[in-house]
A and B are shown apart, each in its own frame.
Chain A
Amino acid sequence: MDTTTLERFSLNGSEDVVRVRLAVRTWMRANGFTLLQQTKMVTATSEMTRNCVTHGGGGSAELQQLRDGERLGLRLRVADQGPGIADLPLALQGGHSTTGCLGLGLSGSKQLVDDFEITAEPGKGTQVHITQWR
């Protein structure tokens, strides 16, 4: 599988969330992803980058193009140096929030994209990879 880095972002505020989202949508539209695939990936991107900004204290994101034979995919990697997640299985169940929001971002995003990987050990920051295939 070939991986090419498309763009890197630093995430510090909600305007950065919008920037990454826009880059995701623009690239997917140009590469023939369906409107549904775009909307799902854009929404998951929004959740992950916003988590990074609100809960992780900011971090960085990277967009990668994946090519596996005929298949074309887009992967977003988001990383922060924040507190991590104390109870990851609980956070992934959905409907659980420590900060008064809906608590659906993680669990929901997992449903939205094709691949979802997360590591979030307490004290070691959070790293999320989400991938949407065409």
Chain B
Amino acid sequence: MPTTPQQSIDQIFTHHEPAILEGWMCEQVAALTSRQDLMSTAALRTQSQAFLALFTLACRDGGLVDITGTPWAPVLDFLADLSSQRAKLGFTPSETATFVFSLKQPVFARVREELGADVGTLVDDLWGMNVLLDKLGLYTMELYLKSRETVIKHQQLDMLELSTPVLNLWQDILAVPLIGTLDSSRMQAVMENLLGAIAKQGSPIAIVDITGVSAVDTEVAQHLLKTAAAARLMGAQCIISGISAPIAQTMVALGVPFGSVDTRATLADALAQAFAQTHRQVVVMEPQAY
């Protein structure tokens, strides 16, 4: 009796699951040798076994063509969890896709052994299986990318929150250390936080330190100038510190009009300036004998 691809695939999975699992594990371990820091072989085996069980069931009940039907739902859910887990653990896209694609080799080998004599069925089966695994692999990638995007969005929000603290450096002296990449939304947050703190505490001096800023282009410069101008309107003086030699030269070449703002090379210089302007003096004490 001729068998349909689905029936023969069913039988192969039902009768040879342990062998397929072994072959699959070998493929995966070989492909992921460098990632044992992220996931142990034992955990990978548990995951693979669980997937094979779901996959076999879905093949039997749902057929090999349409993976959007109800029988395939558990498999898709499983892959969704897997890809978001791997995205968070730091797997690369290809390492994540390997999970599904590396199943091809052991399955194909088994199908060939079982159906080697019957070339017609063999080709049909292999093709059906190939298309199916490609679909599942692509589905995994799609979800992986979605999870990565979510992770990145969260990180961006975290950065925005974390990176704009206003510090009370001394009585009357506020400081904002800026780090990393400044874009319009971050600069807006900086400006609001700083002006809020100036209004609340009535501080006459605010230091904006850009030592940790990777690149100062005209957009960033314009934001800094605006922040300084707004602070001045509120009666506070803004000192921009942390201007390295290359950044200073770059600003001059760009022609950014920093002349109207107080700038200092280092945060220490800015603090000294702030002390002087608030009539404070730093005194070095004589060492005392105890």
Q: Which residues of A contact B (CB under 8 A)?
A: 14, 18, 21, 25, 35-36, 38-40, 42-43, 46-47, 50, 94-95, 101-102, 104-105, 107-109, 111-112
8 contacts between A and B (CB under 8 A): A14-B184, A21-B214, A39-B244, A43-B254, A94-B255, A104-B218, A108-B256, A111-B255
Inter-subunit contact B255/A107 (CB<8 Å): yes
Known: A43-B254, A107-B255. A38 touches B246 (CB 8 A): yes
Closest beta carbon of chain A to B219's beta carbon, Å: 6
Interface of B is mostly: helix
Inter-subunit contact A47/B250 (CB<8 Å): no
Inter-subunit contact A36/B249 (CB<8 Å): yes
Instruction: Tell me if B230 is interfacial: C-beta within 8 Å of chain A.
Output: no
Interface of A is mostly: helix
Q: Which listed residue (A18, A21, A25, A47) contacts B218, Cβ 8 A?
A: A47
Q: Which listed residue (A43, A101, A108) contacts B215, Cβ 8 A?
A: A43
Inter-subunit contact B255/A18 (CB<8 Å): no
Inter-subunit contact B253/A50 (CB<8 Å): no
Inter-subunit contact B255/A108 (CB<8 Å): yes
Closest to B181 in A: A18
Contact residues of B between 106 and 146, Cβ < 8 Å to A: none
In the complex, chain A residues whose CB is within 8 Å of the CB of B219: 46, 50, 101
Q: Which of A43, A46, A47 has the most CB of B within 10 A?
A: A43
Contact residues of B between 173 and 221, Cβ < 8 Å to A: 181, 183-184, 214-219, 221
In the complex, chain B residues whose CB is within 8 Å of the CB of A40: 246, 249-250, 253
A118 to B217, CA, bound (A): 19
Closest to A108 in B: B254
Contact residues of B between 35 and 58, Cβ < 8 Å to A: none
Known: A18-B181, A36-B245. A25 touches B255 (CB 8 A): no
In the complex, chain B residues whose CB is within 8 Å of the CB of A18: 181, 183
Closest beta carbon of chain A to B249's beta carbon, Å: 6
Instruction: Tell me if B222 is interfacial: C-beta within 8 Å of chain A.
Output: yes
A91 to B64, CA, bound (A): 61
Inter-subunit contact B215/A112 (CB<8 Å): no
A18 to B159, CA, bound (A): 15
A37 to B249, CA, bound (A): 10
Closest to B152 in A: A15
A40 to B245, CA, bound (A): 11
Inter-subunit contact B255/A47 (CB<8 Å): no
